[in-house]
Structure 1
């Protein structure tokens, strides 16, 4: 019997809504009708899957409103704030255009692939119908020169994003924010969407060249320069923050700000062990990038968000990077974390926040008077990205300035607890989905449950089940693991409910436990959101069976 997707239920109960009950009856009616025919037949697994997907779609909220957009993946040039990168993008700027809708709206997104290879658009974090997910096998790739229209409803409010699920295209400019609004939500004066990224394409070596270095049988695991060395950015300073115009719009600088000239000079990309981080439990990644960006700009030419002193600003953080976790802080401010991956949490005040690849966090801040850098430290890589908040007169500090908030109260996922209305309930006893992360840097043979994706044995679940997911990281690196089409709820070590997530950092040698409600039938990828680990094989599937 289908169980409708819901925002959540009390932690100790499970509910079936009236709409879901009707949808279940429709699906059941299909089976009864088949049984009453003169020639009884058993529906094929494909037919059962299609009926279940249709029933789940009927159970989603529908507003009757349609939001349309057009996207064109293409080769183009983008201005990073001085450096010009030839890359793949949805136009001539990065990020791509924001797609925005309300809960229950139908999104109709026409994609025209102008690339010379297949393309795809995955709607990251949205619990949408399986055949519109934007990832194979459920959604075929869009062939070179071909068109495809994604049509789906958005059941839950939150901060989401879109990106390719084809090869290494995720490490280019093909990404954009997707915001699903709840019309009843909005206790803030202004909204700032902050998109984090690590950048090499069209500046340093291409993603393909970096991947070939990583999988090279002669690789020692020691960083290898990918170009002739140039001057690295100057050492970060720790001087105090200083204190430009008002309004609540976002603007882009047209020329670099004052500061060290080396901030605009790309550091050549390196592959191998590039640094360490205590927050990440050891190795900080596989690639040191030439640049780290906020909203498509390098630190020397940041975007500026203009607001007024005293305004309550909602900041939506999205980490679109391929190999970099960021530690973010707004100089002179604390942040109150309100949402993880789109779902509300009990508000928690922090000074800085650790955000892994593909994770999203929403925070609120009360704007002070002056000019303040928003700094995203590339965790363990001795580099940063930045933007500016301007609420009054003043000048920005050096592009490599690191605010003291970065080393104060750092928010990590175990600190957060979902609000009661979005709790998923307790898992069924003796029903566990093991997700064992394996592999190593030397051979670059990343895998899940002992096999690379090419040889994967999918995890299986039946609709309506409430299994435990056990993420078990046996490697010496952290992995941000993402499940398509669902969110799960972490269970803390004391057995109490944690945050709702669709992507979670699993530290080296760490085991995390989560509960999943199997309410969205289909074939759903689950993988590491380090782009290079995913391509190397750290991916499996969660398949619904009937």
Structure 2
């Protein structure tokens, strides 16, 4: 089935046609102040993160992306159930938008939640090409006074000559990874980018939570809402305010352990889908995971710390309800970071989104392979090819078993669908991105109800661009 086939359009019509919300992004090279440090990078509209896009479930999102970059680009709406030809995967759902051209992304937004807009071309996500997408619920069941969107990131672009493309080459010992992207011999211009700047390869890293290395890249900076820890963004509220935090990990290689000093977090959603409310002191977010939490603000100044898991570094923002006190130091370490961390698999879906006990119609089994020495990340030892297909049929319930045969953890993302985590009792938490620990397996079910061609890949950008990607393809009936 092709991305614009009649079956795709039929499902899109079923999503309805609400008010049209129009936006325009321009991808361009610019200078960005991260809080006393200015870097040259690529952004949407000169800001990091890009300007928030906010719509309501049932709306039609109409977003034009104008490309003023020197290379092609695309825009992917991470986590959204959308029509396939608007998914933004280069050479699969569309050709890259050439320099000087534009592309209009238009689709019905059917489900509320916290999502992420980002480039899906090469290593561009690990620059500044990302922005939060908030889809409000017209029947919002939560009660709160304020909303705080928190975007986490790891940063190296433009620092001492580093670029993400150059660091990818460092990890490959100067030899460009070769994949069949469908757009030419390599499919990506970044393969021709020289490796400049100091070595960013992370030599020593360990995370108990992740049972191994935290990541592969030693970033010089870690950010919350585009700001460094010594010049953090400050969210102002009143004591007693009930605040909804929408936390998004926009990083390329870094998991973040997040806690708000002096406060307990009540988890309400993960990846846009509600869970039965669960309290925790801290959360672990893999790349492109999102969590919504509620807190009741106390009186004072409180650090929101995102610990770069396994990397001995942190990002910082501040919650302020008292104007008389100073800001916490950049090295602040709230006790909550070392207390309870409740993973998604230990949460339970809200009854409104829980799957039934129906048995799967199809089983797919994929092994995660590769190692740090050769940097040959792949599925089933096969680097990505645009011609790969794991077939599914519309209407099926599919069980996907991912077996991690590597020494690394991987955040695995499925485009165009959400899935239910299986094998942990009767939990079935709904997700679109989930962590697979080293030498463990992850089992999830999803309904094949969104026809087209859909990426399944590791959301460590350096792993995916080394080959850890594949495609689920719907069969024609």
TM-score computed with the length of structure 1 as normaliser: 0.81
Shift of 1:351: 0.4
Secondary structure at the counterpart of residue 283 of structure 1: coil
Asked if 1:538 is matched to 2:468, the reply is yes
CA distance in 2, matches of 1:52, 1:128: 13
Q: 1:328·1:353 contact (CA, 8 Å) conserved in 2?
A: yes
What are the equivalent positions in structure 2 for 1:268-287 lying under 5 Å apart?
A: 270-287=200-217
Counterpart of 1:412 in structure 2 is 343
Counterpart of 2:73 in structure 1 is 119
Q: 2:361·2:396 contact (CA, 8 Å) conserved in 1?
A: no
5+ residue gaps, structure 1, are 1-44, 219-224, 228-267
Secondary structure at the counterpart of residue 143 of structure 2: coil
Q: 1:304·1:388 contact (CA, 8 Å) conserved in 2?
A: yes
Which of 366, 372, 376 is matched with 2:302 structurally? 372
Q: 1:226·1:270 contact (CA, 8 Å) conserved in 2?
A: no
Q: How many residues align?
A: 454
Which of 143, 149, 155 is matched with 2:110 structurally? 155
Counterpart of 1:311 in structure 2 is 241
CA distance in 1, matches of 2:424, 2:81: 27
Which of 209, 216, 240 is matched with 2:173 structurally? 216
Counterpart of 2:416 in structure 1 is 485
CA distance in 1, matches of 2:386, 2:104: 31
Secondary structure at the counterpart of residue 85 of structure 2: helix
Counterpart of 1:351 in structure 2 is 281
Q: 2:115·2:290 contact (CA, 8 Å) conserved in 1?
A: yes
Shift of 1:83: 0.4
Which of 25, 29, 46 is matched with 1:75 structurally? 29
Q: 1:269·1:289 contact (CA, 8 Å) conserved in 2?
A: no
Q: 2:67·2:73 contact (CA, 8 Å) conserved in 1?
A: yes
What are the equivalent positions in structure 2 for 1:437-448 lying under 5 Å apart?
A: 437-448=368-379
CA distance in 1, matches of 2:153, 2:359: 38
CA distance in 2, matches of 1:435, 1:360: 25
Q: 1:274·1:288 contact (CA, 8 Å) conserved in 2?
A: no
Which of 216, 220, 223 is matched with 1:293 structurally? 223
Runs of 4+ in structure 1 displaced over 4 angstroms? none
What are the equivalent positions in structure 2 for 1:199-210 lying under 5 Å apart?
A: 199-204=155-160, 205-210=162-167
Q: 1:456·1:540 contact (CA, 8 Å) conserved in 2?
A: no
CA distance in 1, matches of 2:398, 2:214: 31
What are the equivalent positions in structure 2 for 1:299-338 lying under 5 Å apart?
A: 299-338=229-268
Secondary structure at the counterpart of residue 10 of structure 2: helix
CA distance in 1, matches of 2:14, 2:361: 28
Give per-residue Cα distances to partners, 1:62-87, cap 9 Å, x unaligned: 3x201000000000000000000100
CA distance in 2, matches of 1:348, 1:456: 42
TM-score computed with the length of structure 2 as normaliser: 0.92
- Compute the RMSD of aligned alpha carbons: 1.8
Secondary structure at the counterpart of residue 543 of structure 1: strand
Secondary structure at the counterpart of residue 475 of structure 1: coil
Which of 167, 170, 180 is matched with 2:135 structurally? 180
Q: 2:346·2:427 contact (CA, 8 Å) conserved in 1?
A: no
Shift of 1:111: 1.1
Q: 1:424·1:516 contact (CA, 8 Å) conserved in 2?
A: no
5+ residue gaps, structure 2, are 176-194
CA distance in 2, matches of 1:125, 1:46: 20
CA distance in 1, matches of 2:358, 2:152: 34
Stretch moving more, 408-417 or 533-542 = 408-417
Which of 151, 154, 175 is matched with 1:198 structurally? 154
Shift of 1:213: 0.6
Give per-residue Cα distances to partners, 1:256-290, cap 9 Å, x unaligned: xxxxxxxxxxxx76204441101111011101100
Give per-residue Cα distances to partners, 1:200-253, cap 9 Å, x unaligned: 0011411111111100179xxxxxx986xxxxxxxxxxxxxxxxxxxxxxxxxx
Which of 45, 52, 60 is matched with 2:7 structurally? 52
Counterpart of 2:326 in structure 1 is 395
Give per-residue Cα distances to partners, 1:292-339, cap 9 Å, x unaligned: 000000000000000000010000000000000000000000000000
Q: 1:428·1:465 contact (CA, 8 Å) conserved in 2?
A: no
- Larger C-alpha radius of gyration, 1 or 2? 1
Secondary structure at the counterpart of residue 420 of structure 2: strand
Using a 3 Å threshold, how does the CA distance of structure 1 residues 46 and 169 change in structure 2: closer, same or farther? Answer: closer
CA distance in 2, matches of 1:124, 1:217: 30
Asked if 1:361 is matched to 2:291, the reply is yes
Asked if 1:529 is matched to 2:459, the reply is yes
Shift of 1:420: 1.2
Q: 2:360·2:396 contact (CA, 8 Å) conserved in 1?
A: no
